[in-house]
Amino acid sequence: MELEVAGRTVRLSSPDKVFFPERGFTKLDLAQYYVAVGPGILRALRNRPTTLERYPDGVGGEWFYQKRAPKGMPDWIPTAHITFPSGRSADEMCPTEQAAVVWAAQYGTLTFHPWPVRATDVDSPDELRIDLDPQPGTDYADAVRAAHELRAVLDEFGGLRGWPKTSGGRGLHVFVPIEPRWTFTQVRRAAIAVGREMERRMPEHVTIKWWKEERGRRIFLDYNQTARDRTIASAYSVRPRPNAPVSAPLRWEEVGVAHPADFDLATMPARFAELGDVHAGMDDHAYSLDALLELARRDEHDHGLGDLPYPPEYPKMPGEPKRVQPSRARRKDAS
């Protein structure tokens, strides 16, 4: 069948193919969902290199991340050339129209993972993205508590404003639009500074410990989500779980009132029709990281708090501490 999407015609094959057996949602349901929230998800993806999380046979089948632009992609969908930490590079899909999202859904894309950069400058992030990830023994309510303190930290250090959204699971994401004048390394350094300040204020509830054995029952502020080639699911993305939840943009007054279970492929279109994109004004702002980078400088100068480990697939970075699990390091030292 064919769908009309903001002036484009997108062909949908096997529209009755079931993608979410538990709810009975089909490929057509998925495509129609992305039509319904089209302006919102396009705002989140516009001009951003985007990795596609594809489930061609639905949530119960094989899946993969598509980083390079798919073969046969229409010429009206542009690409952006990005470089990975390994030094390799690729041309990634870079949506500029709502129809591009529906075209990707035709190929089983459930979740869209945009880089925090625009195609015009792929080395300078324009968003500081903070991932509040509940660890075993914690839940969404703990993430909510951390998010409200995070809001205060952001305001205190530079008058920053964050836009919150559910992760589609138990966590919360907060995105801060920033001026695109810092490197990935500097933005990651700012995220670490935020995490350390959160640890000082909520030591029993928040951690930035990279090694799972050290995190305990706390909310992990995943500073490495700001490293190059690490991405976070976009607002309005459908997540690959049996009940088809979506990553839902929230207003701050909804954080702690709304629950992630409120938002899925069936319920979000009605919310969008009523409220529109509650993050629509996000692109009207661009904040400075100067205050957070000064906090990072003071942490290092006054307290000896330097860099933290990168993900395992990254090359060794300048100033990075030993990338070894603490318990293994202790056993090695003892021997």
- What confidence score (pLDDT) does residue 60 get? 92
- State the residue for tokens 């390091």: 329
Query: What integer is the mean pLDDT of 230-241?
Result: 98
Give the pLDDT band of residue 217 (cuts 50, 70, 90): very high
Query: What integer is the mean pLDDT of 210-235?
Result: 97
Residues 272 and 144 in one domain: no
Query: What integer is the mean pLDDT of 176-181?
Result: 98
More confident residue, 313 or 134: 134
Residues 183 and 244 in one domain: no
Residues 82 and 154 in one domain: no
29-51 pLDDT per residue, tens: 999 999 999 999 999 999 999 99
Residues 56 and 185 in one domain: no
In a domain, 245, yes or no: yes
Residues 114 and 133 in one domain: no
In a domain, 50, yes or no: yes
Give the pLDDT band of residue 324 (cuts 50, 70, 90): confident
d(CA 122, CA 216): 36
d(CA 19, CA 198): 39
Give the pLDDT band of residue 334 (cuts 50, 70, 90): low
Residues 299 and 207 in one domain: yes
pLDDT of 335 strictly over 70 = no
In a domain, 255, yes or no: yes
Residues 292 and 268 in one domain: no
Residues 76 and 90 in one domain: yes
Residues 174 and 135 in one domain: yes
Alpha carbon 113 to its chain centroid, in Å, reads 7
Residues 189 and 62 in one domain: no
69-117 pLDDT per residue, tens: 988 999 999 999 999 999 999 999 999 999 999 999 999 999 999 999 9
pLDDT of 332 strictly over 80 = no
- What confidence score (pLDDT) does residue 327 get? 81
Mean per-residue pLDDT of the chain:
96
pLDDT of 330 strictly over 90 = no
In a domain, 40, yes or no: yes
In a domain, 328, yes or no: no
pLDDT of 131 strictly over 60 = yes
Residues 6+ apart with CB under 8 A from 7: 99
Contact 134, 171 (CB under 8 A): yes
In a domain, 220, yes or no: yes
Residues 191 and 298 in one domain: yes
- What confidence score (pLDDT) does residue 200 get? 98
Residues 172 and 132 in one domain: yes
Q: Residue 207 maps to which CATH number?
A: 3.90.920.10
pLDDT of 191 strictly over 60 = yes
d(CA 221, CA 226): 11
Query: What integer is the mean pLDDT of 204-228?
Result: 97
Contact 177, 282 (CB under 8 A): yes
In a domain, 325, yes or no: no
Q: How many helices (H) and strands (E) does the chain have?
A: 9, 14
Domains held by the chain: number = 2
d(CA 110, CA 59): 9
Query: What integer is the mean pLDDT of 159-171?
Result: 97
237-267 pLDDT per residue, tens: 999 999 999 999 999 999 999 999 999 999 9
d(CA 256, CA 198): 19
In a domain, 67, yes or no: yes
Residue 135 domain boundaries: 127-227+285-303
